[in-house]
Structure 1
Amino acid sequence: MNIIVWSDFTSPASYVAQVRLQHVIKALKLNDKVNYQVRAFQINPNASTEAVETNAAKLALAKDITLAKAQQYFERWKKQGQAEGISVEAGYAYATNTLAAHRLVAWIQSVEHDNAKTEALVDGIFKAEFAENKNISDHQVLLDIVKKLGFDVAAAQEVLTTSAYREDVLNQEASFRDLGSYHVPVIIINQKVLEGLQPRQAYARALDPKAGEFVDDYLIK
C-alpha cells in the first residue's frame, strides 16, 4: 500500500495531518503494510534562515492588530494538535527557510528505506518547529534532532554543509506542482488524493473502506 505525503515544516496543518495519519495507520494495524514516502514542498522558498518574527508578530503587523488578537488566530491549530496528543504553538513559531530540513528528510529516506526512521525524523523536525519553537533552518538544531534519534550525525552534517539532496527536493516540488495543487498537506493513499487536513475517517476510508465508520473507536484519545 503506497502512501505519499507532501508537506512543509512551517505548516501546522501538515504537522497535524502527518500525526493523524500515523495514528490511523497504527489503529488499523497497517504499519507493516504501507510504503510511506514523505515529499517536500516549500511554502516560501525565499524565507529567511534567521528567526526574526514569530508568525503571530507577522500577522499582527500585516493586519494592524494587537499581538494578543493575532495569537488567537493560531489557537485553532493548538486545539487540533491537542486532539492528536501533540503541542502546536503555531503563533510562537518562526516560518524560516525549510530547504535544509527537507534535504535531511530526503537523505534519511535515501539511505535507510525505513518508514519508522523517516517518521521519527519528520516528527522531530515538526516538534522543534511547533512545540519547541526553534529555528529549523539552524543546522545545529537539525543535527541535535539527528543525534537524539541515534542517526549518523557525521553523515547528516555532510548533507547540511553541502548541496546534497537539493535537486531531490526541487524535483519533489516540481512533481507536486504537476498535481495542480499549491497548498500542503496533500496525502495520496492508493492513488486517492486527499488535500488539506482531513478528519480521521477520510484517511481510514482511503486505507480500508470498511474501517471508515468506526476508526475513532480504535484511537487512543
Structure 2
Amino acid sequence: MFEIHLLTTYACFSPSFVILGCSLQSSHAVCNGILFNQERKTCKLINCSPTHSALDFDPGRWTLFWKTTGMCKTGWSKHEEFCYYFNQTGDTWSNSKRMCEDNGGYLASIRTTEENSWIVDTFLPPWNYTLCSPNWWYCCEYWIGGNDLSLEGTFTWTSDNSTLGFINWYPPSEPDNNSDQDCLSICRDGHWADNPCERVWPYICKAPAI
C-alpha cells in the first residue's frame, strides 16, 4: 500500500488549477498532483511515492489530476525542459555551486550549441569590442558548472560528474590552466575559458523544470 500525503485543501473550479495550484505552493517541498472532490468542488494537493497507480481513494468521489510538468520558480527562465537563474551579484565558484544546489539546481551544464547560444542571448551583456579585445578574458567572467578539480585536464559538469560532450573553448589556447585555473566560465560571445575558482563573478544556475 502506498501512502498518500494530503497537503492542503483548496477550492477548485477547473482542471487548470492543477497546474497553478500544485506548482505554486512553494511551501511544500513536493507536490505531485491534486485529488478533486466532485461533490464538494474542492481539491487536495498530494505527495505520493513512488507512483500514483495504486493510490487508495474512491474514484466515485475523487478524481486524480497528475501534475503537469514544465514550470519554473519565480525569477527563473525556462528553456526546453530546464529552468535557469542568473545571479548578477556574484560569488566564488564554490559558493556559487552551493547556492545553486541550495535552490534545487546546480551550476549550469551546457550540452549543445543551441543551449549555449540561448544562455548568452538571455543573460549575458553584448560583446563589447572596445572592452573585450584584445584582452578578451575580461569578458569571460560568468561561472558555469564545468571544472577539473578532481583530475587536472579532465573537465566534468558538477551536475552529474559527466565529462564535457559539447565544448566551446576560446581559441586557440583555452583551457590553459594558467595560474591553477580549475573552474569553467562562459564569455559574452559564448566561448569558454578556465579561470581561478576563487574569483567572484556572476553565475548561472540550472534545474529541471518542475
Q: TM-score, normalised by structure 2?
A: 0.23
Q: Which has the larger radius of gyration?
A: 2
Q: TM-score, normalised by structure 1?
A: 0.22
Higher strand share goes to which structure? 2
Higher helix share goes to which structure? 1
